[in-house]
């Protein structure tokens, strides 16, 4: 009896979960499908789209027109570079805030988060002028710095919450054994924080990959990531659904695959200190 109800229940949950999952995923599925259709077919009714011929024409055209590999590499360098740089700055900061908290630690964290609230469009001209003067326009290094600073508050916040969960006694014990500060961080703290750091890295790679304002405004060609690749396929004169879909698929596929492999990590790791 009990087994039977469990089975029915699992069946119902399976159906419900798959239905909702497919509904949420459907827009992305649709982009992937449209990428394999001709422009003329892509604007037909959904049934006609599904029954029309499949073609690689859009991918061929995108391949011919843009240097996908360059944009892809730039996206990889920018998102990984900015995440790594942010980690280097954030790990010590989060460590000290978590283990040597002061009266102002909470305020400091809040203030850090509040730096994310400036609307980017409002500071475009000042930023552009500064980038021009430092010769940073259209350079990867310039964008890595900007993306690092944009995501730094989130990185610090996340690491802080993970570090806080690590019991202080372990550190005490390490200190007793004569470990100095550096050894403490490197050999005791970091290994324990690896799951948290991994989630932080993932989330920030995603955020950096999708950042579409500064990456578009501060690059021209050699440092331009996939966001600019997309901008060259959206809304030209004439039909563009199929080509845009093909380009979009190429732009989101890498991050989607990364998400696929790391979903366990994401599901476990995104606590922001909210779970005790």
Partner 1 sequence: MKLTIRALLGASVALALAGAAQAETTITVATVNNGDMIRMQSLMDDFYAKHPDIKVDWVALEENVLRQKVTTDIATKGGQFDVMTIGTYEAPIWGKQGWLVSLNDLPAEYDVDDLLPAIRGGLTVDGNLVAAPFYGESSMVMYRTDLMEKAGLTMPEAPTWDDIKKAAAAMTDKGAEVYGICLRGKAGWGENMAFLTAMSNSYGAKWFDMDWKPQFDGEAWKATLTDYLALMNDYGPPGASNNGFNENLALFQQGKCGMWIDATVAASFVTNPKESTVADKVGFALAPDTGKGKRGNWLWAWNLGIPAGSQKIDAAKTFVAWATSKEYLELVASKEGWANVPPGTRTSLYANPEYQKVPFAKMTLDSINAADPTKPTVDEVPYVGVQFVAIPEFQGIGTAVGQQFSAALAGSISAEEALAKAQEITTTEMTRSGYIK
Partner 2 sequence: MATEHSRTAARLMVSPAVILLFLWMIVPLAMTVYFSFLRYNLLMPGMESFTGFDNYYYFLSNSAFMDALVNTLLLVGGVLVITIFGGVALALLLDQPFKGQGIVRIMVIAPFFVMPTVSALVWKNMFMNPVNGMFAHIAKTFGFQPFDFLAHAPLASIILIVAWSWLPFSTLILLTALQSLDQEQMEAAEMDGASWMNRFIYLTVPHLTRSITVVILIQTIFLLSVFAEILVTTNGGPGTASTNIPYLVYAQSLLNYDVGGGSAGGIIAVILANIVAVFLMRMIGKNLET
One of 50, 173, 181, 186 touching partner 2 (CB under 8 A)? 181
Contacts with 167 (C-beta within 8 Å, 6 or more apart), sequence order: none
Q: Nearest approach, Cβ of 64 to partner 2 (angstroms)?
A: 21
Backbone conformation region of residue 266, classed left if phi is above 0, alpha if psi is from -120 to 50, else beta: alpha
* Residue 232 lies near partner 1 (rule: CB under 8 A): yes
Asked if 107 and 221 count as a contact pair (C-beta separation under 8 A), the reply is: no
CA–CA separation, 178 and 165 (whole Å)? 23
Give Cα separations from 7 to 19, 21, 259 (angstroms): 18, 21, 30
Residue 238 binding: pick among partner 2, partner 1, none (C-beta 5-8 Å cut-off by kind) = partner 1
Closest CA to 151 of 117, 119, 116, 120: 116
Q: In the bound complex, what is the minimum distance in angstroms from residue 42's beta carbon to partner 2?
A: 9
165 binds partner 1 (CB under 8 A): no
Rounded to whole angstroms, the Cα distance separating 23 from 211 reads 26
Q: Which is nearer to partner 2, 1 or 267 (CB)?
A: 267
Looking at the Cβ atoms of 155 and 223, the one nearer to partner 2 is 155
According to the binding rule CB under 8 A, does residue 237 interact with partner 1? yes
Among 60, 65, 104, 116, binds partner 1 (CB under 8 A): 65
Q: Which does 54 bind (CB under 5 to 8 A by kind): partner 2, partner 1, none?
A: none
User: Which residues here bind partner 1, judged by CB under 8 A?
Assistant: 39-40, 43, 64-66, 124-125, 128-129, 131-132, 134-138, 216-217, 220-222, 224, 228, 231-240
């Amino acid at each position: 009896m009990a087994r039977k109800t469990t089975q029915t229940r699992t069946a119902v949950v399976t159906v419900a979960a798959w239905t909702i999952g497919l509904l949420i995923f459907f827009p992305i599925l649709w982009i992937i499908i449209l990428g394999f259709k001709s422009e003329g077919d892509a604007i037909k009714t959904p049934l006609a789209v599904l029954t029309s011929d499949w073609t690689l024409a859009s991918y061929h055209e995108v391949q011919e027109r843009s240097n996908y590999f360059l944009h892809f590499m730039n996206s990889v360098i920018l998102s990984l570079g900015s995440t790594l740089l942010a980690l280097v700055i954030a790990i010590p900061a989060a460590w000290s805030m978590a283990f040597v908290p002061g009266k102002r630690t909470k305020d400091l964290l809040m203030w850090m988060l509040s730096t994310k609230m400036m609307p980017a469009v409002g500071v475009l001209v000042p930023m552009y002028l500064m980038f021009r003067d430092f010769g940073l326009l259209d350079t990867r290094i310039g964008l890595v710095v900007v993306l690092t600073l944009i995501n730094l508050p989130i990185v610090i916040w996340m690491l802080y919450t993970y570090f806080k969960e690590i019991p202080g006694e372990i550190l005490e014990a390490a200190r007793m054994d004569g470990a100095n500060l550096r050894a403490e961080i490197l050999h005791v703290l970091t290994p324990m924080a690896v799951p948290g750091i991994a989630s932080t890295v993932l989330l920030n790679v995603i955020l950096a990959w999708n950042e579409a304002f500064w990456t578009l405004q501060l690059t021209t060609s050699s440092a331009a990531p996939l966001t600019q690749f997309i901008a060259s396929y959206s809304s030209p004169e004439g039909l563009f659904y199929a080509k845009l879909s093909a380009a979009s698929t190429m732009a989101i596929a890498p991050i989607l695959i990364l998400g696929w492999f790391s979903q366990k990590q994401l599901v476990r790791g995104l606590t922001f200190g909210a779970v005790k």
